[in-house]
Amino acid sequence: MPKRGYHHGNLRQALVDAALELIADKGPQGFTLSEAAKRAGVTPAAVYRHFEGREDLIAEIARQGYEIFADLMDYAFDDGKPSAMAAFESTGRAYLAFARKYPGHYVAMFESGVSVNRTPELATAAARARGVLEAAAEALSEHIPPEKRPPPAMFSAHIWAMSHGVVELYARGAPGRQTPFPPEDLLETGIGIYLRGLGLIAPDG
Protein backbone atom coordinates (compact mmCIF):
# COMPACT_ATOMS: atom_id res chain seq x y z
CA MET A 1 0.00 0.00 0.00
CA PRO A 2 1.44 3.43 -0.87
CA LYS A 3 2.43 5.65 1.99
CA ARG A 4 -0.03 8.26 3.07
CA GLY A 5 0.82 11.87 2.60
CA TYR A 6 0.58 13.76 5.85
CA HIS A 7 1.73 17.14 6.99
CA HIS A 8 3.43 17.98 10.23
CA GLY A 9 0.84 18.03 12.99
CA ASN A 10 -1.70 15.57 11.62
CA LEU A 11 0.18 12.30 12.05
CA ARG A 12 -2.14 11.56 14.97
CA GLN A 13 -5.17 11.72 12.66
CA ALA A 14 -3.36 9.71 9.97
CA LEU A 15 -2.90 6.94 12.54
CA VAL A 16 -6.57 7.14 13.50
CA ASP A 17 -7.58 6.84 9.85
CA ALA A 18 -5.24 3.88 9.35
CA ALA A 19 -6.63 2.16 12.44
CA LEU A 20 -10.20 2.70 11.19
CA GLU A 21 -9.28 0.79 8.03
CA LEU A 22 -7.68 -1.96 10.07
CA ILE A 23 -10.72 -2.24 12.31
CA ALA A 24 -12.85 -2.69 9.19
CA ASP A 25 -10.47 -5.36 7.89
CA LYS A 26 -9.56 -7.22 11.07
CA GLY A 27 -11.67 -6.01 13.97
CA PRO A 28 -10.55 -3.89 16.93
CA GLN A 29 -8.32 -6.59 18.41
CA GLY A 30 -6.93 -7.91 15.13
CA PHE A 31 -4.15 -5.43 14.45
CA THR A 32 -1.04 -4.05 16.10
CA LEU A 33 0.29 -0.54 16.47
CA SER A 34 3.06 -1.50 14.08
CA GLU A 35 0.47 -2.36 11.43
CA ALA A 36 -1.25 0.98 11.98
CA ALA A 37 2.10 2.72 11.60
CA LYS A 38 2.87 0.83 8.39
CA ARG A 39 -0.51 1.67 6.92
CA ALA A 40 -0.04 5.33 7.86
CA GLY A 41 3.40 5.26 6.25
CA VAL A 42 5.46 6.00 9.36
CA THR A 43 7.85 4.13 11.61
CA PRO A 44 6.46 2.30 14.68
CA ALA A 45 8.46 4.64 16.90
CA ALA A 46 6.47 7.57 15.57
CA VAL A 47 3.24 6.05 16.87
CA TYR A 48 4.42 6.13 20.46
CA ARG A 49 4.81 9.89 20.33
CA HIS A 50 1.03 10.04 20.13
CA PHE A 51 -0.35 6.84 21.66
CA GLU A 52 0.99 4.64 24.45
CA GLY A 53 -0.64 1.53 23.03
CA ARG A 54 -3.36 0.18 20.78
CA GLU A 55 -6.07 0.75 23.36
CA ASP A 56 -5.20 4.43 23.51
CA LEU A 57 -5.47 4.64 19.73
CA ILE A 58 -8.85 2.88 19.82
CA ALA A 59 -9.95 5.19 22.63
CA GLU A 60 -9.22 8.20 20.41
CA ILE A 61 -11.27 6.64 17.61
CA ALA A 62 -14.10 6.05 20.08
CA ARG A 63 -13.85 9.64 21.32
CA GLN A 64 -14.14 10.98 17.79
CA GLY A 65 -17.03 8.59 17.20
CA TYR A 66 -18.92 9.80 20.25
CA GLU A 67 -18.44 13.41 19.15
CA ILE A 68 -19.88 12.63 15.70
CA PHE A 69 -22.61 10.54 17.30
CA ALA A 70 -23.60 13.30 19.73
CA ASP A 71 -23.69 15.86 16.92
CA LEU A 72 -25.97 13.61 14.84
CA MET A 73 -28.25 12.91 17.79
CA ASP A 74 -28.41 16.59 18.71
CA TYR A 75 -29.25 17.52 15.12
CA ALA A 76 -31.94 14.83 15.00
CA PHE A 77 -33.45 15.96 18.31
CA ASP A 78 -33.63 19.55 17.03
CA ASP A 79 -34.67 20.98 20.43
CA GLY A 80 -37.71 18.72 20.51
CA LYS A 81 -39.25 19.91 17.25
CA PRO A 82 -41.76 19.40 15.76
CA SER A 83 -42.94 17.40 18.79
CA ALA A 84 -41.29 15.54 21.67
CA MET A 85 -42.33 12.18 20.24
CA ALA A 86 -41.16 12.95 16.71
CA ALA A 87 -37.85 14.25 18.05
CA PHE A 88 -37.39 11.16 20.19
CA GLU A 89 -38.01 8.87 17.21
CA SER A 90 -35.59 10.93 15.15
CA THR A 91 -32.81 10.23 17.65
CA GLY A 92 -33.47 6.51 17.23
CA ARG A 93 -33.18 6.76 13.47
CA ALA A 94 -29.98 8.81 13.91
CA TYR A 95 -28.54 5.94 15.94
CA LEU A 96 -29.10 3.52 13.06
CA ALA A 97 -27.74 6.00 10.52
CA PHE A 98 -24.58 6.50 12.56
CA ALA A 99 -23.93 2.75 12.80
CA ARG A 100 -24.24 2.43 9.02
CA LYS A 101 -22.16 5.45 8.07
CA TYR A 102 -19.41 5.13 10.69
CA PRO A 103 -18.95 1.39 11.27
CA GLY A 104 -15.31 1.70 12.38
CA HIS A 105 -16.15 4.29 14.99
CA TYR A 106 -19.18 2.28 16.10
CA VAL A 107 -17.05 -0.82 16.66
CA ALA A 108 -14.44 1.17 18.59
CA MET A 109 -17.15 2.67 20.77
CA PHE A 110 -19.21 -0.41 21.53
CA GLU A 111 -17.32 -3.56 20.60
CA SER A 112 -13.64 -2.97 21.29
CA GLY A 113 -13.70 -3.58 25.01
CA VAL A 114 -12.18 -0.16 25.64
CA SER A 115 -13.88 1.55 28.59
CA VAL A 116 -15.52 4.92 28.10
CA ASN A 117 -13.46 5.96 31.13
CA ARG A 118 -10.16 5.14 29.41
CA THR A 119 -9.49 8.86 29.04
CA PRO A 120 -11.27 11.93 30.46
CA GLU A 121 -11.88 13.17 26.92
CA LEU A 122 -13.58 9.93 25.93
CA ALA A 123 -15.71 9.93 29.08
CA THR A 124 -16.81 13.52 28.37
CA ALA A 125 -17.75 12.75 24.77
CA ALA A 126 -19.69 9.63 25.78
CA ALA A 127 -21.55 11.54 28.49
CA ARG A 128 -22.50 14.23 25.98
CA ALA A 129 -23.99 11.65 23.62
CA ARG A 130 -25.89 10.01 26.46
CA GLY A 131 -27.09 13.43 27.58
CA VAL A 132 -28.75 14.14 24.23
CA LEU A 133 -30.89 11.00 24.51
CA GLU A 134 -31.70 11.74 28.15
CA ALA A 135 -32.81 15.27 27.20
CA ALA A 136 -35.09 13.81 24.53
CA ALA A 137 -36.50 11.38 27.09
CA GLU A 138 -37.07 14.14 29.63
CA ALA A 139 -38.94 16.24 27.09
CA LEU A 140 -41.17 13.28 26.33
CA SER A 141 -42.25 12.92 29.97
CA GLU A 142 -42.88 16.58 30.83
CA HIS A 143 -46.65 16.16 30.57
CA ILE A 144 -46.65 13.58 33.37
CA PRO A 145 -46.77 14.71 37.03
CA PRO A 146 -43.22 14.63 38.43
CA GLU A 147 -44.05 11.98 41.02
CA LYS A 148 -45.29 9.63 38.29
CA ARG A 149 -42.53 10.14 35.74
CA PRO A 150 -40.16 7.27 35.09
CA PRO A 151 -36.54 8.41 35.43
CA PRO A 152 -35.46 9.73 32.00
CA ALA A 153 -32.01 8.17 32.46
CA MET A 154 -33.69 4.78 32.86
CA PHE A 155 -35.94 4.77 29.85
CA SER A 156 -33.40 6.52 27.63
CA ALA A 157 -31.01 3.68 28.54
CA HIS A 158 -33.69 1.17 27.56
CA ILE A 159 -34.15 2.90 24.21
CA TRP A 160 -30.38 2.98 23.70
CA ALA A 161 -30.26 -0.77 24.37
CA MET A 162 -33.15 -1.38 21.97
CA SER A 163 -31.44 0.70 19.28
CA HIS A 164 -28.20 -1.17 19.81
CA GLY A 165 -29.99 -4.50 19.50
CA VAL A 166 -31.63 -3.53 16.21
CA VAL A 167 -28.26 -2.39 14.87
CA GLU A 168 -26.53 -5.61 15.90
CA LEU A 169 -29.22 -7.91 14.55
CA TYR A 170 -30.50 -6.18 11.45
CA ALA A 171 -28.77 -2.95 10.49
CA ARG A 172 -25.20 -4.07 9.81
CA GLY A 173 -25.71 -6.57 7.04
CA ALA A 174 -24.88 -9.68 9.04
CA PRO A 175 -25.59 -12.77 6.88
CA GLY A 176 -28.55 -14.84 7.94
CA ARG A 177 -30.09 -12.08 10.00
CA GLN A 178 -32.93 -11.01 7.83
CA THR A 179 -36.31 -9.51 8.57
CA PRO A 180 -39.09 -8.42 6.23
CA PHE A 181 -39.22 -5.12 8.11
CA PRO A 182 -36.79 -2.22 7.71
CA PRO A 183 -34.66 -1.72 10.84
CA GLU A 184 -36.09 1.80 11.22
CA ASP A 185 -39.62 0.37 11.35
CA LEU A 186 -38.61 -2.28 13.87
CA LEU A 187 -37.09 0.34 16.13
CA GLU A 188 -39.94 2.82 15.77
CA THR A 189 -42.65 0.26 16.56
CA GLY A 190 -40.60 -1.10 19.44
CA ILE A 191 -40.16 2.37 20.89
CA GLY A 192 -43.90 3.02 20.51
CA ILE A 193 -44.88 -0.17 22.34
CA TYR A 194 -42.39 0.52 25.11
CA LEU A 195 -43.43 4.14 25.62
CA ARG A 196 -47.11 3.24 25.66
CA GLY A 197 -46.35 0.64 28.32
CA LEU A 198 -44.76 3.38 30.45
CA GLY A 199 -47.76 5.65 29.88
CA LEU A 200 -45.65 8.24 28.12
CA ILE A 201 -47.88 8.26 25.05
CA ALA A 202 -51.58 7.49 24.80
CA PRO A 203 -52.65 3.99 23.63
CA ASP A 204 -53.93 5.52 20.39
CA GLY A 205 -51.11 8.09 20.09
- How do residues 85-140 score in pLDDT, each as one tens digit? 888 888 888 988 999 899 999 999 998 889 999 999 999 999 999 998 888 888 88
Q: Domain check: are 107 and 123 in the same one?
A: yes
Task: Give yes or no: residues 96 and 121 share one domain.
Answer: yes
| Buried-state track 32-65, b at ≥16 Cβ within 10 A, e below 16 | ebebbbbbbbbeeeebeebbeebbbbbbbbbbbb
Q: Does residue 157 have a pLDDT over 80?
A: yes
pTM of this structure: 0.84
Question: What was the pLDDT predicted at 42?
Answer: 86
What CATH number is given to the structural domain containing 46? Answer: 1.10.10.60
Rank 11-25, 40-54, 85-99 by mean pLDDT and report only the highest: 11-25
Question: What is the predicted pLDDT for the residue at 46?
Answer: 82
The pLDDT value recorded for residue 123 is 95
Q: Distance of CA 181 to CAs 5, 88, 96, 159, 171, Å? A: 44, 20, 14, 19, 11
Query: Which range marks the domain in which residue 108 is found?
Result: 55-198
Residue 162 CA to residue 144 CA, distance in Å, equals 23
